[in-house]
Structure 1
Amino acid sequence: MIRRRRSVLPLLAALLALGGTCALQAAASPATEATTRTAPSGVWYEIFVRSWYDTNGDGIGDLNGVTAKLDYLQSLGVSGIWLMPINPSPSYHGYDVTDYEAVNPQYGTLADFRRLADEAHKRGIRVIIDMVINHTSNENPWFKAALDTKSPYHDWYSWADKYTDLESGSAAGSQAWHPAGKEHYLGIFTADMPDLNYDNRAVRAAMVKAGQFWLKQGADGFRLDAARHIYENFPWDVDDPAALAKNLDWWNEYRRGLAAVNPHTYLVGEVTQPAATMLAPYLKPLDAVFNFPLTVQLIDAAKSERNQGLGPTLDRSYAAYQAVGGKAIKDAPFLSNHDQERVMSQLDGNPQHMHTAAAMLLTLPGEPYIYYGEELGTLGKKPDPALREPMRWDRATRAKGETTWEAGNPANGAAVSVEAEQADPHSLLHYYTQLIHWRSEVPALRDGGFRAYPEASDHLAAWERSDGRDTVLVVHNLSSQTQTMTLDVPGEPHYSRVLKQTGPGAAIHGSTLSVPAYSSVVLQ
């Protein structure tokens, strides 16, 4: 439960600025006010600690900086945060770990993490951390010991034999085998990231132990990096039922091991597959997997201003999920993350398209993820460091707390900052805040199922969300022109009230809904 200790007056002011008459009516209702103050949104927020907020003046973000900005995250309305790797690592990004039971000293200490988790929990915010479980750093003491063929750690990694094709590519698209003295080891991403051998029981036990360690420090779960690659190492492993079965066997074992410490541990997996049917099997051992194919569909729909069959595609996707994961739709939709160009860049800086992409994301089932700075419209294209640049808190450069480890993109100027957007009632930040709070205020948006609604034109995306008590209809106008849609559909509920809208102007006339350009509505 989110315990919001701030006054209701700023919330009323924000709602007045953002949502027109429907938002005003919602804010004026005592029942809705109570819901807003207590109900979670189910929205997660991804943070690169190095770029977030610096409390000791070294130019690098730290765990205390995350704690310092929890009130911002609470005001945004998120109910969980995902911290990119915080373990010691020789790289800036941390996806090559040297110690699974410690904190990168640039980020702080274990005590700092425990304090962060405690303060987050006081605000009803869950904390998960990146568990880089497929591989270690080549500077990890385990790997250094493994270079000795007589060491018990040698079998913690995979080594080529005389039959191995040393020129083979990996399932990740890079060179698979790398030299180490007279031997070659498997590292499907880079030579700096040797793959662990999960056929070794000691490896499995060590990784379960690492997960249990962080749960005891206050973590609520993990984002599982490269979850499909535990046993999917080579091109011929892709789509191989045997590799999939071995992956699932490991993740079931991992879940059982973590449940011994916390039976409510939340696990979300990075499974980079192009279709929902290929993601669905992972929903048996995991709570959710990132919906990579949906990301492409949402951005394409927003950019083209056409739904491109989005509703029926989602119907099929969720049916595949529910066939494996049960009645509730277990999903982790998102628009971008630390490996992809930022959403605003993919949408060529178009603010209207950004609005519709965000609105679609935040009215879908499951638990959506937002990448830090997305709510500000931060731009960023490859290479990877440019996707992970410092969060801009203030209009002024070099303000207190701003990280300086990486230069910021000049295109992300003073206007693309928390300070500037908090002061502008029409900013993207306020738009995201409005949509996230909708999920707290309308339980069907957060917990409900999904059914595509017959659209009147290909410029509209529409779906029903029902939680067994209430059913709402969500309609997004993806275009620059006002669109209309009939509500007199045989067999469908009768929708007669505009419950929420992103801006003024939506109206129901008889059995026809009118939706202004680039706006979204929720009907009851």
Structure 2
Amino acid sequence: MCYEIEDHIFGDLIEPAQRLALHQESRLGVRHLHQIVPLDPEPGHPIVLYLTTAGPTPYEEAICRFTTDDTDPAGESARVLPLQHDGVEWDTLLWDYVHRWSVTLPPQPAGTMIRYHLAARVAGTDRWVFADNQALSAEEATDFAIWVDNDPVPDWAWDAVVYHIFVDRFYPGNGRSWRNPERPTGFYGGTLRGVIQKLGYIRDLGCNAIWLSPIFASPSYHGYDAIDLYTIEPRLGTFADFRELVEAAHAQGLRVLLDFVAHHWSHLHPTFISAREDPQSPYRDWYVWRRWPDEYEMFFTVKSMPKLNLRPGPARNYLLRCAQYWLEQGVDGYRLDFAYGPPRDFWADFRRACRAVRPDCWLFGEVVHTAAVQRTFQGVMDGTLDFLLAWALRETFAHKRWDLARFEAFLAAHEAYFPASFCRPAFLDNHDMDRFMFVAGNDVDALKIAALILFTLPGPPVLYYGTEIGMTQKHPIHRGGRSFDVEARQPMRWEDVPSSALREYFRRLIALRHAYPALRYGARQVIHLDAEAGTYAYLRTWRESSVAVAVNLSPQPRRVRWRWPREAWIQTPRDQLNGYTVCVRDGVLEVNLPPKSGALIA
């Protein structure tokens, strides 16, 4: 059966009408949208906040209420600064004028948490409207926060190669076979013991960090609906197994990252049961009710995943302490699920709380949204997963809808748009999207070229379990208006590992990334591009070291040439990946590439 496979990485934003609606929503009314300069303020430097107003309501002044003593900006201790009106611009998609405002906050010392509200007054009235939720009172306003610090991304994160494990589908351990559940959403039997027993495999591959899907007590196979964030899910193992896993991983030079869900948990969580059954429950305010007890906000439309009330209060404090607890048990950082859901000031508190326990913990978010939204997470996280690059890699090398010129145009803009200090872990596929091999029509060469590009760009690579042996699936995740996530979450095919030439290719790629700092830190420069011929090359340069990457997407062999002074090479350059012939004549380097192949020249 043939499928028209469409990546739904960005959900409804794939539709132009949804993009237009998002744009209009982000402009109408009073909007801040975390527009600050600089994005990650340093101690002793002023901070500029920006605001826009637009739509049928006129506004004649705007203010900022802020505190620097960690108190609520709605309180009496808040300072008030007026915003200046910077002018008016025309927005064609909105078909209206947009007013621009700004205010400069005074410099603050390291360790200061700035909490603030922004509001605009309706002309001719005493009515204030607060950004971004359009609240009419400070008590209900969107809370914003900036943590002023000297707190860069931990050094080890830039050198990381992460192996992404879906625990229930990775390995049962102790020689056990996979279970055969009646439904695909059943339990297949992967365990923490199984992960422990495969750490050598992961380390031999060259990865130096593992990211585990949620391991806390949960009624589901995926674990994204916890019922107790302090307990290991018994199906997966015990707390002792967890501790052994962390110690064994660290002994082999592997960092351990946990998947942490702050936006929601299971409707079977004891606090939610109490909140629904008892009108006097102390947990009632932990949730966002539309009409108690049966109507509440949730994760999209999933009734079994109630949304948490993460405004300052007991639910927020509980989650912050949970995050600290697992860091105290030896965890090295978190992949933060659905990070766009919780309020941004929560993440400022989260980062501060985590760094207080582990100053070198790595915190990166799942933000499946526009580049503009992703960039605003600088300062509250170390970075976000690079869904935009994943989309571009899949469009070019799997779907083959982009040529190399389109890919390079995207890549150059993408690299320029995000600050170099914003860490963007990059990947080809994950548990929420069709596997790359399936989308590519099981074209191994396409996977190898895409992996070459992935492992030679700056973002720390994330390798989803099984991608290194070419795991695929039978059907697309999205079909008939429904989602079948289990398609990309099949049990690891350990029987294919011994004979996998593809795995050896990934081993070489990872080893080369570790061997050449230019691939992790270097500037990138295009040195060859012939989209019609299907050839492309770029240079990564760090200090005195240079590494070139060349690819040929054509079904024909190609000779890729570019000018490079011989004196720039310490010794004769070679293709370190596949051993293809490289020649240097009169300052011109040539590499002969077979059909649908690539080279790494150093």
Shifted more, 346-355 versus 311-320: the winner is 311-320
Q: How does 1:59-74 map to 2 (within 5 A)?
A: 59=179, 60-74=189-203
Kindly report which structure 2 residues correspond to 1:77-476, keeping only aligned pairs within 5 A, or say none.
Answer: 77-147=206-276, 148-160=278-290, 180-181=293-294, 183-231=295-343, 247=344, 249-275=345-371, 277-303=372-398, 304=400, 306-322=403-419, 326=421, 330-380=423-473, 381-382=476-477, 383-394=484-495, 417-421=496-500, 427-458=501-532, 459-476=534-551
Separation in structure 2 between the aligned mates of residue 319 and residue 67 of structure 1, nearest angstrom = 40
Quick one: which amino acid aligns to residue 321 of structure 2? K
Contact 1:155 1:200 in 2 (8 A): no
SS at match of 2:285: helix
**Quick check: which has more Rg, 1 or 2?**
2
Whether the aligned pair in 2 keeps the contact of 1:46 and 1:370 (CA below 8 Å) is yes
**One of 580, 590, 593 as aligned partner of 1:505:** 580
- Asked if 1 retains the 8 angstrom alpha-carbon contact of 2:392 and 2:410, the reply is no
1:128 and 1:340 mapped to 2: Cα distance?
A: 21
| Larger RCO: 1 or 2 (CA < 8 Å, sep 6+) | 1
- Which of the pair is proportionally richer in helix? 1
**Matched position secondary structure for 1:116:** helix
Summarize the Cα distance change of 1:445–1:366 in structure 2 as closer, same or farther, 3 Å threshold. same
**Residue-pair matches, total:** 420
Q: 1:308 to 1:142 in 2, by over 3 A?
A: farther
Alpha-carbon distance, 1:386 to partner: 2.3
| Residues in 1 aligned to 2:418 and 2:279: alpha-carbon distance in whole angstroms | 44
Closer, same or farther: CA 300–495 of 1 in aligned 2, 3 Å: farther
Task: Pick one of 158, 163, 167 that aligns with 1:49.
Answer: 167
What is aligned with 1:13?
Answer: none
Residue 196 of structure 1 aligns with an amino acid whose one-letter code is L
Equivalent residue in structure 1 for 2:591, among 479, 498, 514: 514
Question: 1:214-254 deviations in whole A, cap 9, x for unaligned?
Answer: 111111011100000114xxxxxxxxxxxxxxx2x221210
Name structure 1 gaps, 5 residues minimum: 1-37, 162-178, 232-246, 395-416, 422-426
Q: Which runs of 5+ in 2 are unaligned?
A: 1-155, 180-188, 478-483
Partner of 2:418, secondary structure, is helix
| 1:180 Cα offset (Å) | 4.0
Helix, strand or coil at the partner of 1:260: helix
Q: Which sits farther off after the overlay, 363-372 or 440-449?
A: 440-449
CA distance in 1, matches of 2:283, 2:157: 48
Hey, which bits of structure 1, 4+ residues long, moved more than 6 A? 492-496
| Conservation of the 8 A alpha-carbon contact between 1:160 and 1:186 | no
Pair 457,55 (structure 1): closer, same or farther in 2 beyond 3 Å: closer
The structural deviation recorded for 1:493 is: 6.4
Instruction: Compute the displacement of 1:74 (Å).
Output: 0.7
SS at 2:429's partner residue?
coil
Mapped partners of 2:527, 2:381: distance in 1: 29
Question: What is the one-letter code of the residue matched to 1:522?
Answer: L
TM-aligned CA distance change 1:143 to 1:469, over 3 Å: farther
| AA matched with 1:44 | V
| Bigger strand fraction | 2
Deviation, structure 1 residue 354: 1.3
User: SS of 1:228's equivalent?
Assistant: coil
TM-score (norm 1): 0.75
1: CA distance, partners of 2:416 / 2:222:
36
The 2-side partners of 1:100 and 1:355 are apart by: 39
Cα 1:474–1:347 change in 2 (3 A) is same
Cα offsets for 1:180-209 (capped at 9, x unmatched): 44x444442400100111114212111111
Contact 1:498–1:506 under 8 Å retained in 2:
no
Letter in 2 for 1:513: E
> Counterpart of 1:477?
552
Q: CA deviation at 1:512?
A: 4.3
Of stretches 148-157 and 303-312 in structure 1, the one that deviates more from structure 2 is: 303-312
Quote the RMSD (CA, aligned, Å).
2.5
Distance in 1 (CA, whole Å) between partners of 2:341 and 2:157 is 36
State the Cα distance separating 1:370 from its structure 2 match: 0.8
TM-score, structure 2 as length reference:
0.66
Q: In 1, distance between residues paired with 2:423 and 2:367? A: 14
**Partner AA of 1:149 in structure 2:** P
Q: 1:392 to 1:154 in 2, by over 3 A?
A: same
Q: 1:487 to 1:497 in 2, by over 3 A?
A: farther
CA contact (8 A) 1:312 1:452 kept: no
